[in-house]
Amino acid sequence: MRNLHWVLALLLAIASGAPIAAAQEKPLVLASQGSFFIGGEIKKVPARGGGAQEDITVNQMYVQYQIPPAGSQHVPVVMVHGCCLSSKTWETTPDGRMGWNEYFVRKNRSVYLADQVSRARSGFDGTKINAVRSGVLPPTELPNVLTASHQTAWAVFRFGPKFGTPFPDGQFPVESADELYKQMIPDLNALLPSPNPTWTNMAALAKKLNGAILMGHSESGFFPEQAALIDPAGIRGIISIEMPCVTNLSAAQLSTLAKIPTLVMFGDHLEDVQSGPANWMSSFETCQKFVQQVTDAGGDAQMMHLPRLGIRGNSHMLMQDKNNLQLADLLLAWIDKHVEGKKVTRSR
């Protein structure tokens, strides 16, 4: 808790400051925007209609970015979504409020949204499905397509104690849950080789940007660390949100991670959902252990458990919760202090 006094100062500043919603009304000015791919490799496949083999590209990662006019004053932020979701995660919330992507841009950060390899605009390798269809491979070779049901989402995303019943203090806009369910798309990560090309591509992206903060959530929560273990060169900071942490890293691996400021964030009600495939308290405990391990290795790692700051009711989808911009301010302040080395003041 020793690093949290600045957070409390920030909360006071937010409580007394200009209304956050006002930011939505001003025009958004961009120095530039666009999209590109990082990574990707050529794979030989049978030609359509026989004949010589042909080429397809697989394992590439689609990245969409926006750079504000003052973007060069800050370290760029790369946001990577979780299971059964796409970069839509970070955009307009299910109830139509501003997402973290635009809010960070409005706070002068260059933002890069990446669709995980095998998801959304990054595409996936469909050759195995066609091989099963044509009888070349048995059905057991098909990937297990992860599709989260509404019921699974309600439990895993901690909207309430049981399906349809929200927590009284819940921050997720459950009246718009149907819009969240539309974001939930099949997860084909079971098709991926090892190591996950998304990890490699995240490391390469950070390097291409000459330094970036990598942010992951849930399935991708520990991806920034995995990327750093592949190549830490471009990774200036790590933000890991709500996932199980790996706690059996070697001393050499911990030494690598200890050179990168790391923030882990968890929301509320970790033990208050009766069923579902996730065990968030167990995940939280692994991350507490991980944070301690990095700290012991000389690193600047911090667990930000929101209820400890008096911020109650946050779901697993905290970037879409009603207080999402308040949480974004906590991340921005952490970046300013721990990655960019600035003093946090009450005046904003």
Q: Which of 14, 20, 92, 322 binds its own copies (CB under 8 A)?
A: 92
Rounded CA-CA distance 348/345 in Å is 7
Least distance in angstroms from the C-beta of 72 to its own copies: 14
Per rule CB under 8 A, is residue 50 in the interface with its own copies?
Answer: no
Q: What distance in Å separates the CA atoms of residue 235 and residue 257, rounded to the nearest whole number?
A: 10
Q: How far is the CB of 51 from its own copies (least distance, A)?
A: 9
Closest of 171, 173, 178, 150 to residue 162, by C-alpha: 150
Q: Is residue 76 within 8 Å of residue 211, measured between CB atoms?
A: yes
Q: 35 burial class (0-12, 13-18, 19+ CB within 10 angstroms)?
A: exposed
Which of 111, 115, 273, 328 is in the footprint of its own copies by CB under 8 A?
A: 115
Is residue 179 at the binding interface for its own copies, with CB under 8 A as the rule?
yes
For its own copies, the closer CB: 133 or 346: 133
Based on the shown chain and the rule CB under 8 A, indicate whether residue 19 belongs to the binding site for its own copies.
no
Q: Which stretch binds its own copies (CB under 8 A): 6-14, 127-135, 295-303, 339-347?
A: 127-135
Shortest Cβ distance from residue 331 to its own copies (Å)?
20
User: Which tokens hold the place of 138?
Assistant: 């048995």
**Binding of its own copies at residue 202 (CB under 8 A)?**
no
Q: Out of 56, 70, 233, 251, point to the residue binding its own copies (CB under 8 A).
A: 56
User: Hey, which residues does 263 pair with through a beta bridge?
Assistant: 239, 302
292 counts as binding its own copies under rule CB under 8 A: no
Which neighbouring-strand residues pair with 266?
305
Closer by beta carbon to its own copies, 1 or else 47: 47
Tokens linked to 111? 């933002």
Q: Looking at beta carbons only, is 94 or 170 nearer to its own copies?
A: 94
Minimum distance, C-beta of residue 169 to its own copies, in the bound complex (Å): 26
Half-sphere exposure of residue 201: CA atoms within 13 angstroms, side-chain side: 28
Residue 89 near residue 183, CB atoms below 8 Å: yes
Please report whether residue 219 would count as binding its own copies according to CB under 8 A.
Answer: no
165 near its own copies (CB under 8 A): no
Helix (H) or strand (E) holding 102: helix 100-106
Based on CB atoms, which residue is closest to its own copies, 72 or 130? Answer: 130
- Shortest distance, position 92 Cβ to its own copies, whole Å: 4
φ, ψ of residue 343 in degrees (nearest 5): -80, 140
Q: Is 21 in the site for its own copies (CB under 8 A)?
A: no
DSSP letter string, 229-244: HH--TTEEEEEEESSP
Instruction: For residues 197 and 122, give the distance between their C-alpha atoms in angstroms, rounded to a whole number.
Output: 11
Residue 143 within binding range of its own copies, rule CB under 8 A: yes
Closest distance to its own copies from the beta carbon of 83 (Å): 13
Residue 86 binds its own copies, judged by CB under 8 A: yes
Q: Which residues pair with 64 in a beta bridge?
A: 35, 113
Which helix (H) or strand (E) segment holds residue 55: the answer is strand 54-67
Cα–Cα distance for residue pair 310/135, rounded to 1 Å: 58
The three-point CA angle 234-237-238 to 5° equals 110
From the list 49-57, 166-174, 208-216, 253-261, the region that binds its own copies by CB under 8 A is 49-57
Kindly tell me which residue out of 5, 12, 17, 69 binds its own copies, with binding defined by CB under 8 A. 69
Token digits of residue 64 = 């969409």
Residues that bind its own copies (CB under 8 A): 24, 27-37, 40, 42, 45, 47-48, 54-57, 60, 62, 64, 69, 86-88, 91-92, 96, 98-99, 102, 115, 120-127, 129-130, 132-133, 135, 139-140, 142-145, 147-152, 178-179, 181-186, 277
